[in-house]
Structure 1
Amino acid sequence: MLNTTGHTVTDAVRVFNKHVLNPVMLRLAGRRHWYAAVIRHSGRATGRHYSTPVVADRVADGFIIPLPYGQKVDWLRNAQAANAATLVVDGQSFAVSDPRIVSFEAVADQLPARRRRIFQRFGINEFVTFEVSTESGSGPS
């Protein structure tokens, strides 16, 4: 669906989230008992450190993160370039690596039923998986 500037509505939502919602979400993301996690990554060109709120589900060998805005989001491109990031989930920090783009079908059976239904309802078909390199202890309180 296109808006008046020729961009998709999804692009407009992505920009709004990046500049308005994400800074607010970062106050809670990654904390215990909160649904959102934080992925910490370094810029591809600048090396500057960034934090981005994401939804992350723990699975046997790592984490699964949905890609509602597709593969061209900065945090993913940064993690791919470095082959590493830090994920803060439920108050715990994890060094993660080996980001791999996968389809909904490839991860559906590993997702909680509630999340699976939500992702299907919103048409989220791409995900990234990360392997856990090390658990780094406590994250933000």
Structure 2
Amino acid sequence: MSDTTTMDSVRDAVRTFNKYVLNPAMLHLAGRKHWYASVIRHTGRTSGKSYVTPVVADPVAGGFIVPLPYGVGVDWVRNVLAAGSATITSAGSTYDVVAPEIIDAASAATTLSPRRRRGFQRLGIDKFLHVTVAK
């Protein structure tokens, strides 16, 4: 088994654990003041159901940048891209966001703090979701 295949398997296992165990627990605190995690509310592409997912949403000028440690193919990212909008609750405030766009690490780096940049780089995160706060 190659290193890439092993890493993909580990990443999938962590993603599955987070989806069914960690994320439901995180939703009790995510989005609150003084907590690092935010909440993104999105609508299912085909079901039309409302979903809530904990994320790390870094405020940047005019919007947010969300790291995508599991890539761009996860359901919540696909839902936000398809709808073209979502709602983010971060630090106790709620924002309607629009114009979702996948950006690379180099583009995200120009808007993130050096500390966040280093942290995301150490984790090997190379894709981010950029959204704009609706006016």
Q: Tell me the CA shift for residue 113 of structure 1.
A: 1.6
Deviations 1:64-106 (A, max 9, x none): 0000000001111111111010000000000001110101101
Question: Helix, strand or coil: the match of 1:110?
Answer: coil
Partner of 2:107: 106
Question: Helix, strand or coil: the match of 1:8?
Answer: helix
Deviations 1:28-80 (A, max 9, x none): 00000000000000111111111000001111121100000000011111111
The whole-number CA distance in structure 1 between the counterparts of 2:113 and 2:20 is 29
Question: Helix, strand or coil: the match of 1:127?
Answer: strand
1:59-98 equivalences under 5 Å are 59-98=60-99
Percent of aligned pairs sharing the same letter: 55
Corresponding pairs, count: 132
TM-score relative to the length of structure 2: 0.93
Identify, as 1 or 2, the structure richer in helix: 2
The whole-number CA distance in structure 1 between the counterparts of 2:92 and 2:20 is 24
Question: Helix, strand or coil: the match of 1:52?
Answer: strand
Deviations 1:111-131 (A, max 9, x none): 122211110101101001001
The whole-number CA distance in structure 2 between the counterparts of 1:94 and 1:10 is 30
Structure 2: gaps of 5 or more residues: none
1:46-57 equivalences under 5 Å are 46-57=47-58
Q: What do you get for the CA RMSD once the two structures are aligned? A: 1.4
TM-score relative to the length of structure 1: 0.89
Runs of 4+ in 1 over 3 A off after TM superposition: none
Partner of 1:123: 124
Q: Tell me the CA shift for residue 109 of structure 1.
A: 2.2
